[in-house]
Amino acid sequence: SQTIHQWPATLVQPVGSPLSLECTVEGTSNPNLYWYRQAAGRGLQLLFYSVGIGQISSEVPQNLSASRPQDRQFILSSKKLLLSDSGFYLCAWSKGDSRQETQYFGPGTRLLVL
Amino acid sequence: AQSVSQHNHHVILSEAASLELGCNYSYGGTVNLFWYVQYPGQHLQLLLKYFSGDPLVKGIKGFEAEFIKSKFSFNLRKPSVQWSDTAEYFCALSGQGSYIPTFGRGTSLIVHP
């Protein structure tokens, strides 16, 4: 069966520090991968998605970037965090051979920037 | 552009009450529709989905949703809620041919025992 992991679960970082959040998927190959930010009362905002290694699409201009160095690894990064980057970040995957499949979500990372 | 609107942001019910959460969407083509649920402290997970065929779809835990194309709606229903249904519910759509799903803002449901 497929599983998705995210770490860390919680992170407290000072403003201006770098960020690296990691997401890995097991039990499937060539998944579509997604990074979302979830804010209370505002739903899920899609930040990035990837349909293959090295292929990243950004949905919103922001202080963050994403990379996919391996097939089942998706990393969310920042060189200098802003206060407004605080939030709950979710990674998700869907089957890569379809554009309309169900998404499977990770446990999320709660980021607090002080 | 595609969008999803969930009208109820907060719903409070007593156990055994009936539930209907509204979801309307905007998209100019064939859509796939989803309801996801996030129980306290748990992953966001699929509740049910509609791709094609019977517009009345049944999901886990007694939930169902009806796709009404003429109304651009996909409302979620359950005849009798339980305390364990307390969660946040998200409606989502994916236009056919798109990798990018769109989520509604979510509805927080609290069920009192």
What CATH class has A3-113?
mainly beta
Contact A99 B106 (CB under 8 A): no
Q: Is B22's Cβ below 8 Å from some Cβ in A?
A: no
Q: What is the pLDDT of residues A47-70, one digit of tens each?
A: 999 999 999 998 876 789 999 999
Size of interface A-B (CB pairs under 8 A): 50
Please tell me the predicted confidence (pLDDT) of residue A100: 60
Domains and CATH numbers, chain B: 3-112 (2.60.40.10)
Q: With a cut of 50, which residues of chain B have pLDDT below it?
A: none
Chain A residue numbers touching B45 (CB-CB < 8 A): 104-105
Q: With a cut of 70, which residues of chain A have pLDDT below it?
A: 61, 97-100
Instruction: List chain A domain ranges.
Output: 3-113
**B 73-92 residues inside an 8 A Cβ radius of A:** 90
Chain B residue numbers touching A92 (CB-CB < 8 A): 44
pLDDT above 90 covers a percentage of chain A that reads: 74
CA A1 – CA A87 distance, rounded (Å): 29
Please tell me the predicted confidence (pLDDT) of residue A85: 92
Helix (H), strand (E), coil (C) string for chain B: CCEEECCCCEEEEECCCCEEECCEEECCCCEEEEEEEECCCCCEEEEEEECCCCCEEECHHHCEEEEEHHHCEEEEEECCCCHHHCEEEEEEEEECCCCCCEECCCEEEEEEC
Contact A100 B32 (CB under 8 A): yes
Q: Which residues pair with A45 in a beta bridge?
A: A37
Please tell me the predicted confidence (pLDDT) of residue A99: 58
